[in-house]
Amino acid sequence: MTVITRFAPSPTGTLHVGNIRTALHNWLFARAKGGKFLLRIDDTDRERSQEHFVESIRADLGWLGLVPDAEERQSERFDRYEARFAELVASGRIYPAYETTQELDLKRKVLLGRGLPPVYDRAALALSDQDRATYEAEGKAPHWRFRLDHAAPIAWDDCVRGPQRFDPALLSDPVIRRADGSWLYLLPSVIDDVDMGVTHVVRGEDHVSNTATQLQMFEAMGAAPPSFAHEALLIGAEGKLSKRLGSLGVEHFREIGIEPQALVALLARIGTSDPVEPFADPAPLIASFDFGRFGRAPARFDEAELAALNARIVHQLPFAAVAERLPAGMGSQAWDAIRPNLSTVADAQDWWQVVEGPIAPAEVSAEDRVFLAEATTVAAQIDWATDPWPALTGALKEMTGRKGRALFLPLRLALTGREHGPDMAALLPLIGRDRALARLATD
Ligand code: GLU
């Protein structure tokens, strides 16, 4: 069996971190099983779906490295839904209903008032042909419901949540089509999953009760249902469902210098029993991916953790991976020297400025001024072709008796204008003889 997963966003907005996580898990599972990962654009809602969101979804997945093996669009499949719908109407599994929203609200309120579950009473099933003809004559178009079979409990073994059981009598027959003919998501999704051979539906746990009704739709169409994995929701660092998470997308992460690998490494592991690790390559994440490691408690998304992970990933990135984002003239030797000090690739700009100058001259005490004058003399004499830093500091140590901080800090301050930074042995060759001499000569 070839595993086929799908990520099925509605193009009514850009992807947020929760969607990204779902897409990632679908991709990781497909890759782990040597299967296929589909992108299915759920664009049945023609008014709310927008082409620029489709494009941004594709671009975001591309940036993350989650490239789909194929793309499907629901808006190209209306004929197919129509045909399946007609079959299910003919077999009595889909029926027309005429209640208005107000009538349905009232029914719900009455039931809730009596302490009963607000399940649809199936009044529409009791309508006679004559009743329906009257409604139609009045110009009332029906919406359509899928008739659940109450005979046996609905059960499945969820890849994340384990055995699940629903009493269908406690579920309303779901509305699958509106009076204007437009589709709700439930039925087209099942038709697609059947036609596209989807073997695993991986989505958020907010869909668990949809799965109960959709399982009966698979059955009604004579199709074997896929496996389901419902992942626990994502919460913010403060431990709550947060509005902020709904607004955090690729654009924001790019803007603050987050690498796609950092987002992937974090979202692959939070909410699982595996540790978050700074993988710059997804191979180990694919190899270790297992729904059995997912917990049922919400996964906590902490932006500070993402930033720290990002730094650890930046430290591993080879020059070739970042070259086009570096300041002009900055080569691989400079990247290797500066990389360990970066939180984001964009920060390389600051250190490149330190190399190239000009830098703001540091405040120097009278005593250090004398020392730096000696350093200038020594720097003019050492061999700059190989390892100037040990040559400079070695000679100065001998001349002045200074060591440790007293030896290194004034040099670092004069040469870089800063107290901290990359390893001076790696930085000094980049600064080079001429600039170094000018910076050491403080008078
Ligand atoms: N378009 C649906 C959603 O975004 C898809 C759910 C599913 O994966 O089946 O909620």
- Give the CA distances from residue 427 to residues 22, 75, 412, 423, 433, in Å, rounded to whole numbers and listed in that order: 43, 57, 10, 6, 12
Cβ of 135 below 6 Å from ligand 1: no
Tokens of 253: 């992460």
Cβ of 185 below 6 Å from ligand 1: yes
CA geometry: angle at 354 spanning 351 and 356, to 5°? 110
Neighbours of 47 (CB within 10 A): 7
Dihedral (Cα; 148, 149, 151, 155), 10-degree rounding: -70
Cβ of 200 below 6 Å from ligand 1: no
Atom of ligand 1 nearest to the CA of 189: 9
What spacing in Å lies between the alpha carbon of 401 and ligand 1's midpoint? 71
Tokens of 228: 């389901």
Q: Whose CA is nearest to atom 5 of ligand 1?
A: 8
Q: Whose CA is nearest to atom 10 of ligand 1?
A: 9
Cβ of 8 below 6 Å from ligand 1: yes
Please tell me the predicted confidence (pLDDT) of residue 244: 84
Please tell me the predicted confidence (pLDDT) of residue 443: 64
Q: Under the phi-then-psi rule, with left for phi > 0, alpha for psi from -120 to 50, and beta for the rest, what region is 356?
A: alpha
What spacing in Å lies between the alpha carbon of 8 and ligand 1's midpoint? 5
Pocket test for ligand 1, best of 42, 77, 205, 230 (most atoms within 8 A of CB): 42
The domain ranges of the chain are: 319-355, 357-440
What spacing in Å lies between the alpha carbon of 145 and ligand 1's midpoint? 19
Cβ of 78 below 6 Å from ligand 1: no
Low-confidence ranges of the chain (pLDDT < 70): 443
pTM of the model: 0.93
Dihedral (Cα; 9, 11, 13, 15), 10-degree rounding: 40
- Coil, strand, or helix at residue 71? strand
Please tell me the predicted confidence (pLDDT) of residue 246: 85
Please tell me the predicted confidence (pLDDT) of residue 247: 86
CATH number of 357-440: 1.10.10.350
pLDDT tens digits for range 104-116: 999 999 999 999 9
What spacing in Å lies between the alpha carbon of 274 and ligand 1's midpoint? 26
What spacing in Å lies between the alpha carbon of 116 and ligand 1's midpoint? 29
Q: Whose CA is nearest to atom 6 of ligand 1?
A: 8
What spacing in Å lies between the alpha carbon of 204 and ligand 1's midpoint? 9
What spacing in Å lies between the alpha carbon of 346 and ligand 1's midpoint? 36
What spacing in Å lies between the alpha carbon of 69 and ligand 1's midpoint? 18
Cβ of 267 below 6 Å from ligand 1: no
Please tell me the predicted confidence (pLDDT) of residue 168: 98
Q: Please state, in angstroms and rounded to a whole number, the distance separating the CA atoms of residues 61 and 15.
A: 9
pLDDT tens digits for range 36-50: 999 999 999 999 999
Cβ of 205 below 6 Å from ligand 1: no
Atom of ligand 1 nearest to the CA of 210: 9
